[in-house]
Structure 1
Amino acid sequence: MSAALLLLLWAALVTTALPRLLAGARWTHRTPVLAVAAWHALGVSATLALALAVRQLADPSPHHHAGLLHLCGLAVPAESAARAAAGLATAVAAVPAALFGAAVRRAALARRRHREVLDLAGHHGVLPGAVVLDHAVPTVYCLPGLRRRVVVSRGALDALSPGQLAAALAHEDGHLRGRHHLAACAADTLRRCFAPLPLGRLAGPEVRALLEMAADDRALRSHPVTALAGAMAVVAAGPAPDSALAAGHHATARIRRLAAAGPRPPRTARLLGGGAAAALTALPFLLACLPHLA
């Protein structure tokens, strides 16, 4: 079987069957950070598989003289045909990179516009480390980035107990410390690249929910489950801009998760899971080399 066919079969698997399996897996809610890494690994693996398949289709010769790196498309080819093939592969791989950069920039511009409104309409100093908005609906959210903001509405101040408010703020701090906005932009890139396929349809909502769960886990390090779940229930319907990360997003699934929370998988299992995610990204190179090494 040719390397190009192997790579195309793997790309089909990683964009159709594996996303469905990952979306239905029960372990993802127990280790949301690892699950987010797995979603991104699927996207990287699919992109590399397609890029290397294009290279093999454009220049299928084995290039034995150049060694293993050339077979995998990593060495700089001397022949004009091989150079053109490498250029096509680079162009394929550059599309998601460009879309990710555009998503980051688009989100940053939206946050800047909203931050300018907050600086004019919000109240500073009422709640340390946060901007308070005169809004009756309870909402708590953050604007990540270099000039980050945590936003709390008057409705949230009135409705939340001190413990619930502290848990909600810790949740937002988890978003900021984890730089979850970048992971969200990467998921948006997968949606744009693979929109007709399960990988594109599932990655966005799944990653968004997992990021909220990861921020919950951060908040639970210093706050009780009851305070965090209570805060979620209060701010679940609160509005927030698309570029923000809000304490009330996916509240139903998160409260259900907290109610059924079990022990985290052991460290060894988490390390093995991280290794498996890394292996997903490396497998296309092995598939590109395999037929030539047989």
Structure 2
Amino acid sequence: MTAALLLAAWAVTVAAVLPRRLAGAAWTRRAPVLGVLAWQALGVSAVAAVALGVRQLVDPAPHHHDRLLHLCGLSAPAGTVSRLALAAALAVVLVPAALFARRLAAAARGRARHRTLLDLAGRRDLVPGALVLEHPAPAVYCLPGRRRRVVVSRGALDALTPEQLAAALAHEQGHLTGRHHLAACAAEAFARSFAPLPLGRLVEEETRALLEMAADDRALRGHSVRALAGAMSVVAAGPAPSAALTAGHHALARAGRLATRQPRPPRALVALGAAAAALTAGVPPVLACLPHLL
């Protein structure tokens, strides 16, 4: 029962307390990739804490055996109660896993339909590496996945300067290179799994904003803040399919960040933050083991 209480306390911490502290934190805006990792770690840790807590409640026996996995109650169950406990824990894990897989599949189907239309209607000879769609509204977006596409509308070509267009295209390449759609789908799965809690209310919006900022940082490696901000203001209201990632999303927050741009944290601090995120995700198994190790 002690392990179950520890896991319950940790689940409350990562699902209700820490998300409020993490949302909008200045350091996540300075290192958005690390911020995304932190949100993913909270989601993973919350799922693990609930799953292991449920197992401990169903089967609170100490499982004193020789190996560490036996001490944690993570080995293959021997009795009916242990099997039931393992099944309950797996059911908890399967909820976000199924939501993640479902969202990935739905997004892939949507991208496939849209990609078929683009390949029929788009032109490849106007902008290297991109399809140009004859549409008057200014839009620049990408379709991630195995058959990725970058799309520029005729309206964007007419409204953007060459420097702005290059910055917008680099932003989209940042999304594709970073495989940001996977993190976005995972955030949506966590959001639905913990919908009533602060983690569920904040993780998806925060993750998507940070992914846009991460793509901005990638674009700024070779383009000016002025060019990127100008492109963002032009395509902010442009249309894009739901499965796409676009240079116009979260334009207000990103414009404020660009206007008050601060240097990235030192690499040592970024590495330390990544280690802290990994440790956060690994806390639940330690808590499950702790009472049996003392």
**Superposition TM-score, scaled by structure 2 size:** 0.97
Deviations 1:93-116 (A, max 9, x none): 122111111111011001111111
CA offset at residue 127 of structure 1? 1.3
| Residue matched to 1:160 | 160
The 5 Å alignment of 1:99-178 reads 99-178=99-178
Instruction: State the number of aligned residues.
Output: 294
Aligned equivalent of 1:4? 4
Listed one character per residue, the Cα deviations across residues 212-234 of structure 1 (whole Å, up to 9, x for unaligned) are 00000001111111111111111
| Separation of aligned partners in 1, 2:269 and 2:226 | 28
Identity of aligned residues (%): 67
CA contact (8 A) 1:69 1:75 kept: yes
C-alpha RMSD of the superposition: 1.1
Give the equivalent residue in structure 2 for 1:39.
Answer: 39
* Amino acid in structure 2 at the alignment position of 1:196: P
CA deviation vs aligned residue, 1:147-198 (integer Å, no higher than 9, x gap): 1111101111011110110000000000000000111100110111111111
Offset at residue 126 of structure 1 (A): 1.7
* Structure 1 position 37, deviation (Å): 0.5
Post-superposition Cα deviations, 1:268-288, rounded to whole Å, max 9, x if no partner, equal: 100110011001111001111
Shift of 1:72: 2.1
Larger mean CA deviation between 68-77 and 102-111 belongs to: 68-77
With 90-99 and 254-263 compared, the bigger mean Cα shift is at: 90-99
Check conservation: 2:63, 2:73, Cα contact below 8 A.
no
Whether contact under 8 Å (1:52, 1:73) holds in the other structure is: no
Letter in 2 for 1:74: L
Deviates further, 74-83 or 20-29: 74-83
The aligned counterpart of 1:240 is 240
Does structure 1 retain, via aligned residues, the 8 Å contact 2:167–2:219?
Answer: yes
The answer (yes or no) to whether the contact 1:140–1:153 under 8 Å persists in 2 is yes
User: In 2, distance between residues paired with 1:114 and 1:40?
Assistant: 29
TM-aligned CA deviation for residue 241 of structure 1: 1.0
Where does residue 231 of structure 1 map in the other structure?
231
Mapped partners of 1:87, 1:32: distance in 2: 37
Distance in 2 between residues matched to 1:130 and 1:73, nearest whole Å? 53
Counterpart in 1 of 2:16? 16
Q: Is the 8 A contact 1:70 1:77 kept in 2?
A: no
Instruction: Report what 2:184 is aligned to.
Output: 184
Which residue identity lines up with residue 259 of structure 1 in the other structure?
A
8 Å CA contact 2:63–2:72 kept in 1: the answer is: no
* Distance apart, 1:66 and its partner CA: 4.5
SS for the counterpart of 1:150 is strand
Q: Distance in 1 between matches of 2:86 and 2:52?
A: 9
Q: Give the stretch that moved more between structures: 269-278 or 92-101.
A: 92-101
Q: How far apart are 1:121 and its partner, in Å?
A: 2.1
Is 2:56 the counterpart of 1:56? Answer: yes
CA contact (8 A) 1:35 1:210 kept: yes
Deviations 1:127-152 (A, max 9, x none): 11111111111110000011111110
- Give structure 1 stretches of 5+ with no counterpart: none
Aligned-pair distance for 1:29? 0.4
SS at match of 1:65: coil
- Secondary structure in 2 matching 1:95: helix
1:159·1:234 contact (CA, 8 Å) conserved in 2?
Answer: yes
| Corresponding residue of 1:268 | 268
Asked whether the 8 Å contact 1:212–1:250 carries over to 2, the reply is yes
Contact 1:63 1:70 in 2 (8 A): yes
Which runs of 5 or more residues in structure 2 are unaligned? none
Q: CA deviation at 1:125?
A: 1.6
Q: TM-score, normalised by structure 1?
A: 0.97
Whole-Å Cα distance in 2 between the matches of residues 221 and 125 of structure 1? 26
